[in-house]
């Protein structure tokens, strides 16, 4: 067994790509979004973000753009069977940000703070 699979948060390790179809379905379930907001999100807004979790660092990148957050360190705050809570160092604001990563079968999701829908991610590596 590899050392990373022995970590309590090993379920989130790897590369994950935003899943446009599942995320849009989650938005429709929540409802209440204006037509203009729906139009923005349904025009390939989702599906472009890739998040990569290593043992204690995370990075994000956009597939269609040359943007890469580079690796940021994180700390594991809590682990449950269906959730991992991490604290990520955000250098741009020089502070820690807490994030709950939910585990849903073969997917991870995070809750959008403003609109409370789920952005789903599927493992790509």
This prediction's pTM:
0.86
The pLDDT tens digits of the residues spanning 22-61 come to 999 998 888 777 788 777 777 778 999 999 999 999 999 9
> Beta strand 72-80 with 67-68: parallel, antiparallel or unpaired?
unpaired
Is 80 exposed, middle or buried (CB count within 10 Å of its CB: 0-12, 13-18, 19+)?
Answer: exposed
Whether residue 5 is predicted with pLDDT greater than 80 in this model: the reply is: no
Q: Return d(Cα 107, Cα 103) in angstroms, integer.
A: 6
Task: Give me the pLDDT at residue 4, please.
Answer: 56
Who's near 28: CB < 8 A, 6+ residues apart? Answer: none
């Amino acid at each position: 067994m590899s050392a990373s699979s022995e970590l309590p948060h090993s379920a989130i390790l790897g590369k994950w790509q935003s899943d446009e179809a599942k995320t849009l379905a989650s938005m429709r379930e929540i409802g209440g979004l204006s037509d203009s907001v729906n139009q923005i999100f349904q025009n390939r807004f989702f599906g472009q973000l890739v998040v990569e979790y290593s043992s204690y660092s995370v990075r994000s990148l956009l597939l269609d753009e040359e943007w890469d957050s580079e690796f940021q360190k994180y700390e594991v705050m809590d682990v449950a069977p269906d959730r991992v809570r991490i604290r990520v160092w955000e250098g741009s604001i020089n502070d820690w940000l807490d994030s709950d990563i939910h585990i849903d079968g073969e997917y991870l999701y995070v809750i959008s703070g403003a609109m409370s829908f789920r952005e789903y991610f599927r493992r790509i590596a």
